[in-house]
Amino acid sequence: MKCLKADNILPKDLLAAVQKYVQGGLLYIPKPKESRKKWGENSGYRSYVEERNNTMRMKFLTSNITNSIDNLADEYNLAVETVKKIVYSK
């Protein structure tokens, strides 16, 4: 996040209005909610996790092994309870 000088950016009347509340301090102005990205969208990790979970569900559904949840937990280095949440979700 880049620090910007308000008197270089804001109009004088708006700067005067803001100075009524904050003088000489730092003020964070968040992005509008509609322009925010969800967790993992920038890095691509969100799509990786979705693809991994879909693959795990397909392996679970096509598996004939009785302890396939344990095998999936070992294969993906996840806890058994985490694998259960993934394969039993929609």
Which one has a higher pLDDT value, 20 or 1?
Answer: 20
Give Cα 46 to chain centroid, integer Å.
7
- Largest Cα separation within the chain, whole Å, is 71
Q: Is 84 exposed, middle or buried (0-12, 13-18, 19+ CB in 10 A)?
A: middle
Phi-psi region of 44 (alpha: psi -120 to 50; beta: other; left: phi over 0): left
Whether residue 29 is predicted with pLDDT greater than 70 in this model: the reply is yes
73 or 34, which is more confident: 73
Tokens of 17: 């209005």
State the pTM of this model. Answer: 0.58
DSSP 42: T
